[in-house]
Amino acid sequence: MAVPGRGSTAASESGRVLEKRRVVVTGLGAVTPLGNTKEAYWEGLITGRSGVAPITAFDAAKLSTRIAAEVKDFDSDALIGRRDARRMDRYAQFALVAAREAMADAAFPEDADVRARTGAVVASGIGGIITVERTTIEAGTNETWDRISPFFVPMLMSNAASAHISMNYGLRGPVFAVASACASGNDALAVAYDKIVMGEAIAIVTGGSEATVIPTAMGGFCSMKAMSTRNDDPAHASRPFDKERDGFVLGEGAGIMVVEDRDFAIARGARIYAELLGYGQAADAYHIAQPDPESKGVTLAMERALLRSGVAPEQVGYVNAHGTSTPLGDLAESQAIERVFGEHATSGKLAVSSTKSMHGHLLGAAGAIEGIATVLALHHGILPPTTNYEVPDPECRLDYVPNVARKAQVEIAASNGFGFGGHNTTVIFGRHD
């Protein structure tokens, strides 16, 4: 199959470059608390189904938060094979299964030349923490530090997910991990965009994966008092932008996209879900865990995303918000959206929703599965709701698509991702005819 070369750009007869390479989304794969395929995930979103329930992975009786959004019915032995699955942390298993669906969905060519120009950039905020916890407990309890598995380090690495995808599909382009806390998934999309625009790859398998529903991670977040303690009503615990929100709900899973050079995708007859128009990044430079109350970094990230994408604020019809259900975070994001979009937002012309109300907060994978939700919203002309929105917060004054999905043919949408450390990244997608 012919692969566009590094000099492949649109040009006039005089040879002047008229436009940069364009990037499109051709494949989607998901492993989520709402289902383990993109179809099941989307059905859960548009029906407002909750994936939050009491924790089953371990006995959480001693914790202040005993609920989470776990991935259900995931049989790694059946999906990956017992031998290979035992050599991978759960987060990498999620990523590989989601990538398998995305590659099949894209009908991605097996041509060796194409795959030599295809990379894998998969984010994880924490990586193989299950492997770290399990090994530390076992070796410490039994004093067997000299008998730790030789697969311990390869399993805990944050780059293991992208490496396994590369090895399974023979991808020899740029392959690495991105780690920027809860902005990681969005940053992976940003890196993938750049690699294609700059001609370093013809396609990138990208997204994020996380698996942290374990005692140490839950205990750490409980100590920070960051999570909801609505244990008696898990389905209604995550309530972004609602006045009675009391913290986020931890989730797990993976979201993977195949993004390609647009000319290449069209030439091979690929089905195109949406176009990745650009991104913006900015830091709070404020606090390791708390959002900047003036939301300067969040504002800059959205402004820079619009500028890079060549999009005016009034052209954006939907924002998939970071919306974690924390008191300070949701307020800061709402105020930043008002600041960036002005009357377009406050008049109700801009729809904003947080799908974390249904699938919880997937940390480093959040931006990946929320990016998929944004792409599917453009593709299907349906905006997923913010569920559990019952008591409006007078300080959060936007249209949050409350409780019920809405039919709306939006042309351009943004997806926000913000993380501990003050990392802020917004990606912008456009509907593709």
Dihedral-angle region of residue 9 (phi above 0 means left; psi in -120 to 50 means alpha; beta otherwise): beta
d(CA 426, CA 410): 17
Rg (alpha carbons) of the chain, rounded to whole number: 21
End-to-end CA distance of the chain: 24
d(CA 109, CA 375): 22
What is the separation of C-alpha 116 from the centre of its chain, rounded to a whole number of angstroms? Answer: 26
List 322, 344, 379, 432, catalytic entry: 322
What is the DSSP code string of 67-111?
Answer: EEB---S--HHHHH-HHHHTTS-HHHHHHHHHHHHHHHHTT----
d(CA 66, CA 249): 10
List 164, 182, 359, 379, catalytic entry: 182
- Looking from the CA of 152 toward its CB, the CA atoms found within 13 Å total 13
- Look up 322 and say whether it is catalytic: yes
CB 188 within 8 A of CB 176: no
The CA-atom distances, in angstroms, between 305 and each of 186, 190, 253, 281, 309 are 12, 10, 26, 7, 6
The CA-atom distances, in angstroms, between 107 and each of 258, 302, 380 are 10, 33, 20
d(CA 230, CA 237): 5
The CA-atom distances, in angstroms, between 148 and each of 132, 140, 154, 355 are 11, 10, 12, 40
d(CA 377, CA 400): 15
What is the DSSP code string of 229-259?
Answer: --TT-GGGS--TTBTT---B-BB-EEEEEEE
Q: Would you state the structure tokens that stand for residue 244, as one six-digit string?
A: 């009675």
d(CA 419, CA 425): 9
Indicate the residue type of 54.
Answer: P
- Look up 361 and say whether it is catalytic: yes
List 164, 359, 361, 379, catalytic entry: 361
| CA-CA-CA-CA dihedral for 396, 297, 425, 357, to nearest 10 | -20
- Residues serving a catalytic function are 182, 322, 361
